[in-house]
Chain A
Amino acid sequence: MPPQSGAKVAAFEYIEPATLDGAFDALQRGGEEAHLLAGGTALVLLMRLGLVLPSYVVGLRRIEGLREIGISKEGGLEIGALVTHAEIERSALVQRFFAPLAQTFGHIATVRIRNQATIGGNLVHADPASDPPPMLIAMDAEILVARRGGTRTIRAEDFFRDIFDVALEPGEIVTAIRIPPSSPGLLGTYVKFLPASKDDFATVSVAATVRLDANGGCQDVRLALGSVASTPLRARRAEDALRGKIMTREVIEAAATIVAEDVDPLDDARGSAGYKREMARVWTRRALEKLVPG
């Protein structure tokens, strides 16, 4: 049984390797007991609540090369796993690449958390109410993962397996997030529905990207929602309903209605399942309306 009070976390060994290889060694030594710590805003909270009781914590902050934001030769954006939310929010490079992405990171928690928490830590924590995942899915991002002697990429959409559970194998570390070159004219938005306090997790959140062709038809449309299932949810059926069509009120409403059918929310302090389902419809429609020209 975990401690009832959570006043102090149990003692644990803490090491800070200077290289990724050092981190792989540490992960191997720690085995199942090992936990990685990036910004620490989620892990320390879970430890204080007694929900995670690691005996071996591997701090990543001394590792070089995980803090950069850059543009690849192909024109894609690459964000190191240890870049903080605040750095992304304020980055001129990210703003130029795709302003709605920078704005999404400005919605997360509070400025104190944004100054400390990292994008890699956020993704691995896999809280379904988190803000970055829907937008990264809507931008078709890939997550770069390193292990001893190799790397691989996982599409953001495939990364989340369940609440607090991601598609990482033992010994793997997220090193960067790669976003493909933005097609000219791509539009995007992220809306976060906060019906109680402005300082809260979303009751429902919606990320949408779309490129309109010469006739005003929807191309490259991607929709993803937060807080409506055990993982961030890509709304593919709604995308199908939009693809190639002009975003009239009827088309948008139809897509939003499909989203409401496809979500699978939980009852909790931020709303009943039924309310969240309905809000998924309302906020999908409102997100899409923001992308209609004029």
Chain B
Amino acid sequence: MSTATQTSQTLPSIFSSNELRIDGREKVTGEAQYAADFELPGMLHAAFTTSPYAHARIVSIDLKRARELPGVHAVLSGRDIGEHRFGRRFFDRPALCVDRALFIGDSVAAVAAETREIAEAAASLIDVEYEELPVIFEPDDALAPDAPILHEGIDRYYFHAGKRAAVPHPNIQGRRVMVKGNIDEGFARADRVFEHTFTTPRYHGGYLEPRATIVWIDAAGIVHVVATNKAPFALRDQFAICVGIPVESVRIEPAYIGGDFGGKGLSVDEYPCYFLARASGRPVKYVRTYLEDMRSSTVRHASRTTIRTGVTSDGYITAMDAKIVFNGGAYAAGKPAPTLLPGLDPKLPYDIPAGRLERTSVYTNTVPGGHMRAPGDVQFIFAVESHIDMIANELRIDPLDMRMRNAVSGSGSDFEDIPYLEPSAREMLEKMRSASGWGKPLPPGRGRGVGFGVRHIGGGKAEVTLRALPSGDVDVVTGAAEQGMGILTLLQRVVAAGLDLELKRVNVIREAAMTETPFDPGAGGSRQTHVTGNAALDAVRRLREHVSVNGWPKDVPIEVRGVFEAAHGHEAAPHGFCGFVAEVRVDTETGVVDVLDVICVSDVGTILNPVAHRGQLAGGFVMGLGHALTEELRVREGKIENPSLADYKLPTQMDVPPLRFINIENIAGPGPFGAKMAGEINTAAVAPAIANAIADACGARITSLPLTAERVLAALRL
């Protein structure tokens, strides 16, 4: 690995040593409190009655038998609580369905009882009369002119901080078209035009910890929520709006989160548990089973992408026209972007002179789509990177050479003409070529493939408070949720480095999300090192203003609050580039793909937590490997056929090939001490690297994920 060279400052030595996670001991010993560990006196347990139909009108609900069961304290239907919808941006998902259930697993009634067993028994006694309605499972059917409209009342739904863009069909959740240059002229300049279509399935995050919550209302009327939510301040707003109470009355209590991968940005059961707590006067707890989490929380959107690209005969792109349709499922509640599309505007590491990108997410009667690590990118990068190789193959150009010819350079830009700051695409491709032995002949049945991508570094506003104490210690106060990425340890190291203190002098304190607590935007978009880290550095600067010549403030204790804000603007910004070269062997009798060797080149800026950073890169790859080869949430007629980790196959340690990481650290990012990001940089390009390697090995081109052995074998016979 190269040593970081900083233009503005020297890197403190603390960052050259591996971190000791400050939450590590608690987690290893089992002392760490996750949402499911919280116990309160008088606590009740919830259970839900859910729709067995993908689309049905609720004709009547009979709660009588459930209410009569001994040990039951509250039984509520949607009609009892009224229409309360929630979401991250667009509040379209009901706490409990009132008139209609829109997917199998939609909650229609809730119970709170002395034990989980009693609650489940009571939920099974709730008698719901349904009238089945016409169902829509695929976007094409949803977009038909005479398709049933899934959300009749959509114009009344709340849209947080802005206004929902107009859409051309009532079953569209969100749609955005980006245009750059003159696409007709671009295609006119092309020698050849290629068009291909790609599909990707739904994926589940596969986190260890299923969703869990406990909600209670104290004597002062404050609502306390323990949630498996990575963005507690956002949840606080969403919660107050959904249930209709002032935001000052809501506290999201800190709890560790057992893996997030994007999905934990949406809370689901917190809302009905609030109404149960209000009705019973008791704390109400709910811990999802894994089956429920897979069936009715959020999943990565299934997608279909069609790309048409014009190229010169020597492989230069003249125009690209891409259309992505996402199956959004029954609700758009899981998507935080104002466009109601998964993720922000996707980017490519190529110079596209003229382009058009159309993205649409569509309502269907299936499990709702939400955010998952590099949302939107996983679908789009698989399509583009497979497409580039298919074109290179037709033009008889080396695929790495074709990428090099089109790699974004200083003047390059994405679909909206926003320049990249210091794009490293060419340097990265050179590293991929030299490290992989690209071009060296391989034995029969083996092949190499490349996948390349780029991603924005998340922005937002964050605050961090520092308290200098008479003892010489410093407290770092944060409202950030530790969802596993290591933010608490990162804050400790950034503050220790900034104040030149020993680590043991810096204590990190997690506080509930409430009015007085330093605001945090929550993990997501790979923003936390960038914005929360910089807020800590800003606090360091403010504290230093109070520091006397001898190194410590005169008037202790003293408290300062650091603030940092980075908008997703339209100005040039640094990005995270990442590429893979995968080498595979294909068994042409069975279609089995063995991944033999993987090189991952990442443009990461300064590394602050080396162990966690390596974990992010390795984990991001393994998630991409699962997307590529083994994972698929199979949905038939709206029903998930494999809602368990026995049948939804995540890669295991035995399935992970040898990995080689090459990190480019000398291009400074916007984070503290020149950090960029790690969490979402390297998942999207894995699947196309493997798909391209399969094609190189045996000629089989597969345009649908996952690249199962059966699909490879079928493609070999075409």
Contacts and interface: CB of A to CB of B under 8 A. Distances in A.
Interface string A188-205: 000001011111100000
Interface of B: 47-48, 50, 116-117, 120, 123-124, 287-289, 291-292, 589-592, 629-630, 634, 641-642, 647, 649-652, 654-655, 708-710, 713
Contacts of A11: 117
A210 B589 CA distance: 25
30 contacts: A1-B124, A5-B288, A6-B289, A6-B291, A7-B116, A7-B120, A8-B116, A8-B117, A8-B120, A10-B117, A195-B592, A195-B708, A195-B709, A195-B710, A196-B629, A196-B630, A197-B649, A197-B651, A197-B652, A197-B654, A197-B655, A198-B655, A199-B649, A199-B652, A199-B654, A269-B642, A269-B647, A272-B710, A275-B713, A282-B589
A195 B291 contact: no
Q: List 4 tightest A-B contacts by C-beta distance, closest first.
A: A195-B709, A198-B654, A196-B630, A199-B652
A200 B649 contact: yes
A244 interface: no
Contact of A279 (B590, B652, B655): B590
Contact of B120 (A3, A193, A199): A3
A291 B287 CA distance: 52
Contacts of A7: 47, 116, 120, 287, 289
Contacts of B630: 196-197
A195 B116 contact: no
Interface of A: 1, 3-8, 10-11, 49, 193, 195-200, 269, 271-272, 275, 278-279, 282
B641 A269 contact: yes
A204 B8 CA distance: 61
A10 B50 CA distance: 19
Contact of A198 (B287, B634, B652): B652
Contacts of B590: 193, 195, 279, 282
A287 to B, nearest CB: 13
Given A5-B288, A8-B117, 7 more contacts: A8-B120, A195-B710, A198-B652, A200-B649, A275-B713, A278-B713, A279-B590
Contacts of A275: 710, 713
Contact of A5 (B289, B591, B708, B709): B289
A1 B121 CA distance: 11
Q: Which of A7, A11, A275 gathers most chain B CB within 10 Å?
A: A7
A5 B294 CA distance: 11
A199 B654 CA distance: 8
Contacts of A3: 120, 124
Nearest to A274: B710
B66 to A, nearest CB: 14
A5 B292 contact: yes
Contacts of B650: 197
A58 B120 CA distance: 25
A153 B418 CA distance: 78
Contacts of B641: 269
Nearest to A196: B630
A197 to B, nearest CB: 4
B43 to A, nearest CB: 15
A1 B49 CA distance: 12
Contact of A269 (B120, B591, B634, B709): B634
